[in-house]
Amino acid sequence: MGMAAAAPSTSRLLYHYHHHTTGSSRQQLQQQRLRYSPNPSPLALRRRRLSPAEALFPDRITPFSYNADDESDDHPREECGLVGVVGDPDAASLCYLGLQKLQHRGEEGAGIVSVGADGKLNSVTGLGLVADVFSDPSRLASLAGPAAIGHVRYSTAGAVASLRNVQPFLAGYRFGQVAVAHNGNLVNYQALRSKLEARGSIFNTTSDTEVVLHLLSTSLARPLLARICDACERLAGAYSLLFLTADKMFAVRDPHGFRPLVLGRRRDGAVVFASETCALDLIDAVYEREVEPGEVVMVDRRDMSVSSACLVARVPRRACVFEHIYFSLPNSVVFSHDVHERRTAFGRALAEESPALGADVVIPVPDSGFYAALGFSRESGLEFQQGLIRWHYSGRSFIQPTQAVRDLAVKLKLAPVHGVIRGKSVVVVDDSLVRGTTSSKIVRLLRDAGAREVHMRIASPPVVGSCLYGIDTPSDGELISNQMDLEGVRQLIGSDSLAFLSLDKLHSIYGDEAGDYCDACFSRNYPVLPTLPEPAVEFDEED
């Protein structure tokens, strides 16, 4: 796996796919590739650009659509959060607390696997929030033991909200039991699964994580550390993994380091792994370091020895820049940087590039826009105020029957502070703009509250490409900046002005480290491209 230039030969890849599957001519392909996405709006549209994923899988192409009444949050979703504790008799309880702190990384399901006193692995998984899954105290009590791993999830591969897809996965094979929890997305999942199924493997889930278990069980390497390395060398894409056996825990990070994974230690000597340092802080573990890209860390719970191995030869680091922009909590240290400091720097840079001359006040879109708005305020000299209050307990309002009632439901989720807004020229700072649905509602809300002008400032570049590495971004066809130019987006959301942080300015904040970050959602420079499955050989169904 190496660094790729800007989505190389996308048209050639798409032509190759069609030529060998449908017989389409290059002229037909070019007409398909350059077609305008259907949209009745007269707003300025970009020509439809295909991502590498769409080039390889054209059946996934989604036409652009915009629904101002869409109730879903207009942010990408992080897919998963991991916690592992070894060397503490309350390991499962500590995992439970850590998962609570990582709830923002996944709200679809949660689970914990622990090692019992008899050396057997025990599992509890469920759909919903961590507190809901473990609302019965007996479920957590059943997991007593000295080591445990936990997982919260949204879905990428395996998009169905099904209990069978909730991790950690627990399996038995010829050498005993093993559990695995995964944060990321494997871009060669379909190719690996096809090969494994052709050799007789039977899959029980639609999650890419199950591939890892099959690779582990079929590996001929010895011992387990070597089997883990052998299995992971076949993976492509983003993965931070925790493995648990009766006597060991392993933490693995992909060679590019797309997703975060950190190591800490409690005062009693227990070793803790987590996706973010905020989970360490909650359970009184001291942050020691990142699990390095391409590293396997092994903890033997019998003597609490910690050892490390290199997974593969070093490749360019490509940490996900969206962890700093939106996903991680501001009180976390991610990729060796304080998240709140990064976001403040993004806001300062945005004010340098795109000041709102004549504005009266800067307000954040709560909660993730807070530090970027603070940075914008400090750099511009404009007053910072909390002009929008988020209510976290309103639930979804899509069932409301009329537009008037739906508009009232929006005010339940985001309430304007009239004294801050009325008669003012307001700068609204958000961390990102993906589909534009939330931004248009906020602009309308502020105007209804008496704002004289509304200027939107986005503390990241325009999102023009879907993520392939473990973030649930909409398809390219649903990304508003992929479909419209800046003026088109401004008109659609209804603001008086609109500006994004430029990609060059974002790079300048990171300085010499800029090349160590994946910005494919902004630049379409995909470090690892998807892999097509080999054509399947069809056999007659067995009697």
Q: Rounded to whole angstroms, how far apart are CA atoms 58 and 474? A: 15
CB 301 within 8 A of CB 86: yes
**74 labeled part of a ligand binding site:** no
One-character DSSP codes across 4-70: --SSTTHHHHHHHHHHHHT---HHHHHHHHTPPPP----S-BPPP---HHHHH-GGG-------TT-
Q: Rounded to whole angstroms, how far apart are CA atoms 97 and 81? A: 12
Instruction: Give 227's DSSP letter.
Output: H
Structure-derived torsion over alpha carbons of residues 268, 270, 275, 281, reported in degrees to the nearest 10: 0
Catalytic residue from among 80, 95, 229, 232: 80
Q: Rounded to whole angstroms, how far apart are CA atoms 132 and 188? A: 34
**518 labeled part of a ligand binding site:** yes
| CA nearest neighbour of 305 among 87, 24, 18, 454 | 87
Length of the chain in residues, anyone?
A: 543
**310 labeled part of a ligand binding site:** no
| CA nearest neighbour of 476 among 25, 37, 20 | 37
**431 labeled part of a ligand binding site:** yes
Q: Give me the helix-helix angle, 224-232 and 209-218, nearest 10°.
A: 130
Sheet holding 453-458, edge to edge: 383-384, 361-364, 425-430, 453-458, 497-500
**11 labeled part of a ligand binding site:** no
Name the strand (E) or helix (H) holding 418: helix 418-421
| CA nearest neighbour of 460 among 494, 417, 429 | 429
**95 labeled part of a ligand binding site:** no
Q: Rounded to whole angstroms, how far apart are CA atoms 186 and 165? A: 15
Q: Rounded to whole angstroms, how far apart are CA atoms 200 and 346? A: 51
**232 labeled part of a ligand binding site:** no
User: How many CB atoms sit inside 10 A of residue 489's CB?
Assistant: 24
CA 176, chain centre distance (Å) = 32
Residue 37 Cα distances to 134, 428, 466, 490, 524, angstroms: 45, 30, 17, 19, 19
- 95 catalytic per annotation: no
Torsion sign (Cα): 378, 384, 386, 387: negative
Q: Rounded to whole angstroms, how far apart are CA atoms 110 and 141? A: 16
Q: Rounded to whole angstroms, how far apart are CA atoms 225 and 322? A: 31
CA 99, chain centre distance (Å) = 16
Q: Rounded to whole angstroms, how far apart are CA atoms 57 and 256? A: 24
Binding region for Mg(2+)? 368, 430-431
Q: Which residues are catalytic?
A: 80
Binding region for [4Fe-4S] cluster? 320, 467, 518, 521
